[in-house]
Chain A
Amino acid sequence: MALTERTEVSRREVLADGQIQVRTDTVIERDGVEISRRFHRHVVVPGADVSGEDESVRTVANAVHTAEVIAAYKAARE
C-alpha cells in the first residue's frame, strides 16, 4: 500500500480587475486511487510578486497583469 500526496492548481479565476483567484488542491492517493482532496485558496492581485506561484498561475498573471491593469488596480485601491 503506497500513500502519495500531490498538489494541483484546479482553479484560476480571473476577475474583471485582473485579480486571479487560485484554488490549489492537495490530493492524497492510495495506490493511485484518490482517497482525500482538500482545497486551499489565495488571490493574486495585479502587481503582486508571482515568482512563487505555480507555473500555470504565472502564465495567466503574465498575460493579464499588464502595466495598465496594474496601474488601474492600484488606482482603485487608493
Chain B
Amino acid sequence: MPWTFYNSSGEALIEDGAMSIANNTNNRVVTATGADPASLNGEANLTFDGTHLTIADGNLIIGTGGHGIDFSAQASPAAGMSSELLDRYEEGDFTPVVAFGGSASSYVYGVQFGRYTRIGRQIFIELRLDTGGGTRTTSGAATITGLPFTSGNRSYSAGSFGYLSGITFADTPYFMLAAGSVVFDFYETSNAGTPSTITDGNFADHATTPFQIFVFGSYFID
C-alpha cells in the first residue's frame, strides 16, 4: 500500500519510494533542518555505529552548568566517593606576586607567569617569577599572592618549590596554602622538625641578587 508522511500543515513530506536523506551514508546521525522538518541531512562529523558515538570534528558542548560526563556506571567506586560527574574543566592564566607581610614589594618582574588547569575540583598550577628590577619595599612573612581559585575550606595544601634562586634558607623550604586562601605562605622546617616562616630577610634585594621562583603544584577547591 502506498504511504505518505505529512507535516503538521498537511503538506506531503515524504512519499512512498521518494524518501531521501541528503548526504547520508552508513552510521551518520540524521538531523532535521526546518520546523516540520523541511529536510533531513546525514551529518558527516557525527556517527553512531551502535556502540560508539563519534564526533569527527567539533566540540561536545555542555550547554548548562552543573552537567558534564557521568561515570556512575563504573563498578566498585572507592570508599568515600562523593561524585562521579566530571562537570568542570578550565585552563587559563593568573598573575603571581611576591608579597611580604601581606603587601607587594616594588619588584619589577622580568618573568611573571602563572597558568592553571582546573579538572573538577582540583587545580593544577605552574608559576614562575624572575625579578628584573625594583627592590624589596615591604617586610614580614613571605607569600605568593594571586592564585586563580580559593582553596577549599577543608584543604590545607603544601608543596615544594621546583626551583629557588636568590632566597636563603637553612633547612627545607616549602609553601603552604591554608584553607579558604589564595596565598602561598613560605615556610622552612629544620632538621630537628621545627617549622618557621620565611620572611623578607631571606630574600635578596634585586639590586644585589635577583630571585627566581618556579612552582608546579596542585590543590583542591570546594
Q: Which residues of A pack against B, CB within 8 Å? A: 15-17, 19, 21, 23, 38-43, 45, 76-77
Contacts and interface: CB of A to CB of B under 8 A. Distances in A.
Interface string B103-146: 00000000000001000000000000000000000000000001
21 contacts: A15-B150, A15-B180, A16-B153, A17-B180, A19-B180, A21-B149, A23-B92, A39-B90, A39-B91, A39-B92, A40-B93, A40-B95, A41-B93, A41-B116, A41-B148, A41-B149, A42-B148, A43-B149, A43-B150, A77-B178, A77-B181
A43 B148 contact: yes
Given A19-B182, A39-B92, A42-B95, 5 more contacts: A19-B150, A19-B180, A41-B93, A41-B116, A43-B148
Given A15-B150, A19-B180, A19-B182, A42 B94 contact: yes
A63 B91 CA distance: 29
Contacts of B147: 43
Interface in B53-96: 90-95
Given A17-B180, A45-B182, A38 B93 contact: yes
Contacts, number: 41
A59 to B, nearest CB: 20
Nearest to B91: A39
Nearest to B93: A40
B178 to A, nearest CB: 8
B180 A76 contact: yes
B94 A41 contact: yes
B150 A41 contact: no
Contact of A21 (B93, B95, B150, B181): B150
Contacts of B182: 19, 43, 45
Interface in B142-193: 146-150, 153, 178, 180-182
